[in-house]
Amino acid sequence: MSDQLQFDFEGRNRHQDRAGGAGPELPRDPFVSGYDVFRTEQSAAVHAMEERFGMILNKNVRLKLIGWDEVFEGRLILNQLLYPTTRKEGLRLRIGNVDFDYTDIEYCGLLPTPGCTAPT
């Protein structure tokens, strides 16, 4: 039988020599680098959307909606899976249990981070 068809039960591969020298090595956890790339791309997309639509995402804000008497405080997040490609598509947002379109915002401001004080 040809060497090509035999299974290597000793665990050597074509990159190892007969003395057991190591061949090329894969990353220990290939998902870590993939996840890091995903987080970096997601952060860049959120930043680009903040710039395009002039808003603050994934941070604690004070928000007033047109036609509402209540002022909301909490984390402003996207309420849709896909990012809009144009302003005409609209952008669904959520703060707490309230979801709305970004055009419904009367004003929105960043809340100070707890434990941080403003410089005097």
pLDDT for 34-62, tens place per residue? Answer: 778 888 888 888 888 888 878 888 899 99
CB atoms within 10 A of CB 105: 19
pTM: 0.60
Integer Cα distance of 57 and 64 in angstroms: 15
58-85 pLDDT per residue, tens: 899 999 999 999 999 999 998 887 776 6
Domains and CATH numbers, the chain: 27-110 (2.30.30)
Q: What are all long-range contacts of 1-6, with beta carbons under 8 Å and residues at least 24 apart? A: none
pLDDT at residue 39, as a whole number: 84
AA letter at 64? K
